[in-house]
Amino acid sequence: MRLEDKTVVITGAASGIGRETAQECAREGATVIVTDVDTEGGTGTVASIEDAGGEATFYELDVTDSDNVHAVVDEVAETHGLDVMINNAGTGHPGGSLEELDDEIRDFVVDININGVWNGCHAALPHLKDQGEGAIVNVGSLASILGLPKQAAYSTTKAAVLNLTRTIAAEAGPHGVRANAVCPGFTETQMLDQYLEKQDDPEAAREAMAEQYPLKRLGRPEDIANAILFLASDESAFVNGHGLVVDGGFSTC
């Protein structure tokens, strides 16, 4: 098993990509620390892992609260050890041109997508560097490499996630710590559903979106989870500072 005897912390693991990643890491032998502001969803993820014979623990965690993140990560490191930090928690915003997005929306997205990832990395790095090994995987987006129309705040934050990842890779690499990012295309998650629900015809919008992809489908949570698992495991031991695009070929068109 690829993560046997390793402890993995995952933020935003109550649903979607985070839940699928937690389940996949558990199947590969990890002790999984499930974190989220959504207590019901997070405990549901833990239950699904335990029902399958895996090991998981839930911590309520607000990634925008630096003190909260450090307290949880420190406790996990002391109690279970810490080998992999997966910063998955993120948010989007309603579509709109730059001038249509107000400061409140911008600050909300920045706080979760940039500060949340920063806090997770900031808390995990001392533990990983002290032990001389470990991995950080940050969840970016197709918007990390492409400027998505009517998604200025989101695109800005996800581009920042990728460059922060590269900086950490350069700084922490000499200490045996790798940092990489996964950059998914549109994926069948609750966040996507919420976006589509605001369209005049959600199903038609979904079909039109899928048609833009060479594979003629949207991503599935397991597609992204498998990429995260690769970067978290020793299979990617010489991969550092990389943004792995998982978009079904969208960015090649």
Looking at the fold, whether 207 and 85 belong to one and the same domain comes out as: no
Q: Does residue 151 register a pLDDT over 80?
A: yes
Q: What is the pLDDT of residues 179-209, one digit of tens each?
A: 999 999 888 887 777 777 777 788 887 888 8
Looking at the fold, whether 211 and 106 belong to one and the same domain comes out as: no
Does the active-site annotation cover 195? no
**Beta strands in 77-226, from DSSP E residues, in sequence order:** 84-87, 134-139, 177-184
Q: What is the pLDDT of residues 163-174, one digit of tens each?
A: 999 999 999 999
Looking at the fold, whether 119 and 211 belong to one and the same domain comes out as: no
Query: Is 82 inside any structural domain?
Result: yes
pLDDT at site 202: 81
Looking at the fold, whether 15 and 133 belong to one and the same domain comes out as: yes
The mean pLDDT of the chain is: 94
pLDDT at site 203: 86
Looking at the fold, whether 90 and 191 belong to one and the same domain comes out as: no
Looking at the fold, whether 205 and 88 belong to one and the same domain comes out as: no
Rounded to 5 degrees, φ, ψ at 36 are -175, 160
Average pLDDT, stretch 142-164?
Answer: 93
45 touches 13 (CB < 8 A): yes
Average pLDDT, stretch 150-176?
Answer: 96
Looking at the fold, whether 29 and 143 belong to one and the same domain comes out as: yes
Average pLDDT, stretch 48-63?
Answer: 98
Query: Is 250 inside any structural domain?
Result: no
Average pLDDT, stretch 87-94?
Answer: 92
- pTM of this prediction? 0.95
Q: Does residue 93 register a pLDDT over 90?
A: no
Looking at the fold, whether 22 and 69 belong to one and the same domain comes out as: yes
pLDDT at site 191: 75
Average pLDDT, stretch 71-92?
Answer: 97
pLDDT at site 197: 78
Looking at the fold, whether 172 and 99 belong to one and the same domain comes out as: yes
Looking at the fold, whether 102 and 212 belong to one and the same domain comes out as: no
Q: Which of 59, 154, 195, 213 is catalytic?
A: 154
**For the chain, how many structural domains are there in total?**
2
Two tokens at 177? 């710590």
Average pLDDT, stretch 218-245?
Answer: 97
Instruction: Work out the pLDDT band at 17, boundaries 50, 70, 90.
Output: very high
Query: Is 37 inside any structural domain?
Result: yes
Looking at the fold, whether 58 and 127 belong to one and the same domain comes out as: yes
Range of the domain at 197: 187-218
Looking at the fold, whether 71 and 99 belong to one and the same domain comes out as: yes
Pairing mode, if any, of strands 84-87 and 31-36?
unpaired
151 touches 214 (CB < 8 A): no
Query: Is 151 inside any structural domain?
Result: yes
